[in-house]
Amino acid sequence: MKFNRYLYNLIFVILLTLIFSFSFLTISFATTPYIWSNSSLETSTNTDSTDLKLESGGAILIEQTTGTVLYDHNSHEKFRPASVTKVMSLLLIMEAIDSGQLSLKDNITCSDHAASMGGSQIWLEKNESLTAEEMLKAICLNSANDCVVAMAEHIAGSEEEFVHRMNSKAKSLGMNDTTFKNCHGLDEDDHLTSSYDIALMSRELLNNHPSITNYTTIYMDSLRGGETGLVNTNKLVRNYQGCTGLKTGSTSLALFNLSASATRNDLSLIAVIMHSPSTDIRFQEAQKLLNYGFSNFTNITFGTKDDVVRKSIS
Q: Kindly list the distances between the CA atom of residue 295 and the CA atoms of 170, 250, 298, in Å, as whole numbers in the listed order.
A: 32, 29, 8
Sign of the dihedral through C-alpha 283, 287, 290, 292: negative
Query: 69 with 47: CB under 8 angstroms?
Result: yes
- Phi, psi for residue 242 in degrees, rounded to 5: 85, 5
**Position 98 in a domain:** yes
Q: Is 114 part of a structural domain of the chain?
A: yes
Query: Residue 95: which residues within 8 A CB-CB, separation 6 or more?
Result: 209
Cα torsion angle, 175, 176, 177, 179, sign: positive
Choosing from 56, 75, 83, 195, which is the catalytic residue?
83
pLDDT at 6 (0 to 100) = 54
DSSP state of 248: E
Catalytic, 247? Answer no
The angle that helices 159-172 and 86-98 make with each other, rounded to 10 degrees, is 90
Question: Which pTM value belongs to this model?
Answer: 0.82
pLDDT at 43: 30
3-class DSSP state for residue 206?
helix
Establish if 237 belongs to a structural domain.
yes
Tens place of pLDDT for every residue, the chain, 314 residues?
444 555 555 555 555 555 444 443 333 333 333 232 232 222 333 444 468 999 999 999 999 999 999 999 999 999 999 999 999 999 999 999 999 999 999 999 999 999 999 999 999 999 999 999 999 999 999 999 999 999 999 999 999 999 999 999 999 999 999 999 999 999 999 999 999 999 999 999 999 999 999 999 999 999 999 999 999 999 999 999 999 999 999 999 999 999 999 999 999 999 999 999 999 999 999 999 999 999 999 987 766 777 776 666 65
As a whole number of angstroms, the distance between CA 198 and CA 231 comes to 23
Q: What is the pLDDT of residue 7?
A: 53
**Total domains, the chain:** 1
Closest of 246, 171, 202 to residue 67, by C-alpha: 202
Catalytic residue among 75, 143, 195, 202, which? 143
Asked, for residue 314, whether it belongs to a domain, the answer is: no
* 278 within domain boundaries: yes
Map residue 10 onto helix, strand or coil.
helix
49 part of the active site: no
Q: Which one of the listed residues 78, 86, 137, 288 is annotated catalytic?
A: 86
CA atoms within 13 A on the CB side of 74: 15
What is the Cα gyration radius of the chain? 30
Question: Exposure string (b/e) for 223-260, b if CB count within 10 Å is 16 or more?
Answer: beeeebebebbbbbbeebeebbbbbbbbbeebbbbbbb
Would 10 be classed as within a structural domain? Answer: no
| Angle, vertex CA 177, rays to CA 172 and CA 183, nearest 5 | 70
- Please state the separation of Cα 262 from the chain's center in Å: 11
Confidence at residue 9, expressed as pLDDT on a 0 to 100 scale:
55
The CATH number linked to 125 is: 3.40.710.10
Q: In this predicted structure, what is the pLDDT of residue 103?
A: 98
Q: Does residue 105 carry a catalytic annotation?
A: no
21 domain residue, yes or no: no
Is 259:84 a contact under the CB 8 Å cutoff? yes
Range of the domain at 171: 46-296
Q: Tell me if 260 is assigned to some domain.
A: yes
End-to-end CA distance of the chain: 90
